[in-house]
Structure 1
Amino acid sequence: MTTPLFITEEQVKSLFTMPIALDAVEEAFKARAKGDAFNEPRRRLPTSSGAYNVMFATWRGHQIAGLKSYPGGSGGINFHVMLYDTSNNSLVAVIEANRMGQVRTGAASGVATKYMAREDAQTVGIIGSGYQAETQLTAIAHVRDIKTAKVYSRLEENRTRYATKMSDVLGIDVTAVSSGEEAADSDIVATITNSQQPVLLGEWLKPGAHINAAGNNSWLKREIDTRAIAMSDIVATDDVEQAKFECGELMRAAEVGRFSWDMAVPIHDIVGGKSSGRDDDEQITLFESQGLALEDIAACERIVELAREKGVGTPLK
């Protein structure tokens, strides 16, 4: 058996790039569509300061299994993934997973954009300006020929900082704007906030727009309004069963009769060719992302491979 590794946050940052993440997540979605990979929805238990979260998945063809766990609450959030080799049931690695999660969340939206956005999409609107917002735009720019982007968040200094940084990183024109409506006037719109009230309204959307709603994994949160959901011709989720108790905006829309769960399409079925992500250039499409353990283990498998190639990581004895 190979000695397991402990891989730190800084090491993950040096190893795990967006192209690698996009490839890993897309491959994992295709495997799930074929029935070769399996995902269990997130489980939460109350703690003294918030909740303890556990999510796990397996991938038979790659002979891996793993879980991500993290306590959340007033003390902040620290993510760790334990990855196993199921050919001999040995521990492969323990990985600090804050950065990994940011990149793979962006990658999931990137893969959805590849299969659901118009081929000629060139403009992006980002609502939110944190680290997750950076990986959202980075992923989108890898799958479409993006010319310009706009960003809105509540604090002017944050959106200005984001626009300056992402212009430099991606080499495109990223502009800070003063409203969500201005940002939404785009071919592709990504929301990545922790808002409990809609930050994206259906009345702002252009015909043919694609939406990535990536900040919501709680019934308390709601980034887009029910009109935007009702206007969407195709609604994809990373996991329909998980969305039924984590996706606040779809839950709310279903409660008021503006959405039915039988309309929800698993993103792996779209990526795997079982369902269409878009039928014409006028359709509005929506991807609701809550985050999957399958994405985590697919990402961490690549991280471990790279760590061993480069001699990175601390052996665990």
Structure 2
Amino acid sequence: MALFLSENDVKNLLTVEMALEAVESAHRDLASGQAIDTPRARSRLPQTVLHILQGALPAQGVIGYKAYTSNKSGNRFLVHLFDAATGRLKAVIEADYLGMIRTGAASGVAARWLARPDASVAGVFGAGWQAEGHVRAICAALPLERVKVFSRKADKLQDFCRRMSETTGVAVEPAESAEETVRGSDLIGTVTTAALPLFDAAWLEPGAHVNAAGSNSLIRQELSEAAVRRCDLITVDAVPTALAEAGDLLPLLEKGRLHARQLVELGEVIVGRHAGRTSVEQITLFESQGMAIQDLAVALRVLAAAEASGLGQPIPME
């Protein structure tokens, strides 16, 4: 019988390490031709927008979708998992926390494959809900000693850094400026809703890796064109999704200063089909838009943990 898992169930079951493994498996399957991912579709009303991401991981036995609504009253997320062989419903999972951890895990996987192995200092823009998953994931993926965080919401920054320090065991500290956040950092993360670039391209250190996770439409831009052009390798979760949503890349693509063939899917690096970082001096970039198969892979592992732990409520349907 199918299970319903609540937000509390997910929080009790899902770990960052579980999400990192799951997201990497989804990218590996996609690059190996064992996954289907359909870019996000939206239905818009004046008050509410419905977003749907759908896909399949046949090698892992699941097909399904994440649907969520955004409204001034808040966002609501649900993942629906179906058995790939029978089509039967396996689970309906509340997915706000799941999505936050999954989004962070994508950046963590990218950092693991593209940042320098000795990266020890990170600079992160943003101190909101999604930034929490980002910081937790990069601290789990790399031997970081210090994370500098810069946010326009200074009143929340101190509390955010305190909580993340306690959670990760890494020194997470407030940064006083955007420049301080970038200079001296081996890894940069942007997790904001910014409409204008967050930092000057000249501040990027040789050998840095950048995870850009906030710009998923043309009206959002966290990186300047100059910053993108400084990057020797530009990776994306999936090229079709990046071409539709990557606000940092779309201006350059439209002007012909960047071409789709220059975009490398993260999975191609993971399976060894495309080189990742090839020198300590290279600047690398991962543009994260989010994929259904990432959600499905994480949800599948949460479901397995729930079944092993006896959590969740049966859904009375076959």
TM-score using structure 2 length: 0.97
- The residue aligned with 1:137 is 135
The alpha-carbon deviation at position 271 of structure 1 amounts to: 1.2
The alpha-carbon deviation at position 121 of structure 1 amounts to: 0.5
1:301-316 aligned at under 5 Å gives the runs 301-316=300-315
SS at match of 2:258: coil
Rounded to whole Å, the distance in 2 between the matches of 1:20 and 1:160 is 28
2:42 to 40, 44, 49: 44
- The residue aligned with 1:293 is 292
Q: Structure 1 stretches of 5 or more lacking a match?
A: none
Q: Is the 8 A contact 1:191 1:200 kept in 2?
A: no
Q: Is the 8 A contact 1:187 1:209 kept in 2?
A: yes
Tell me whether 1:283 sits opposite 2:282 in the alignment: yes
SS at match of 1:54: strand
Rounded to whole Å, the distance in 1 between the matches of 2:310 and 2:200 is 48
Q: Is the 8 A contact 1:229 1:259 kept in 2?
A: no
- The residue aligned with 2:57 is 59
- The C-alpha deviation readout for 1:267-292, integer Å capped at 9, x for no partner, is 11111111112010000000000000
Rounded to whole Å, the distance in 2 between the matches of 1:30 and 1:121 is 24
1:1-317 aligned at under 5 Å gives the runs 3-185=1-183, 186-317=185-316
SS at match of 1:77: strand
SS at match of 1:11: helix
The alpha-carbon deviation at position 181 of structure 1 amounts to: 1.3
The alpha-carbon deviation at position 50 of structure 1 amounts to: 3.7
2:265 corresponds to which letter in structure 1? P
Rounded to whole Å, the distance in 1 between the matches of 2:199 and 2:48 is 28
Aligned residue pair count:
315
Q: Is the 8 A contact 2:139 2:170 kept in 1?
A: no
Rounded to whole Å, the distance in 2 between the matches of 1:183 and 1:82 is 39
1:179 corresponds to which letter in structure 2? S
Rounded to whole Å, the distance in 1 between the matches of 2:49 and 2:143 is 40
2:117 corresponds to which letter in structure 1? E
Tell me the percent identity: 37
2:214 corresponds to which letter in structure 1? G
Rounded to whole Å, the distance in 2 between the matches of 1:84 and 1:216 is 30
SS at match of 1:79: strand
The alpha-carbon deviation at position 20 of structure 1 amounts to: 0.3
Rounded to whole Å, the distance in 2 between the matches of 1:152 and 1:242 is 28
> Which is further off, 200-209 or 11-20?
200-209
| Structure 1 runs of 4+ with >3 Å offset | none
SS at match of 2:274: coil
Q: Is the 8 A contact 1:80 1:95 kept in 2?
A: yes
TM-score using structure 1 length: 0.97
The alpha-carbon deviation at position 256 of structure 1 amounts to: 3.4
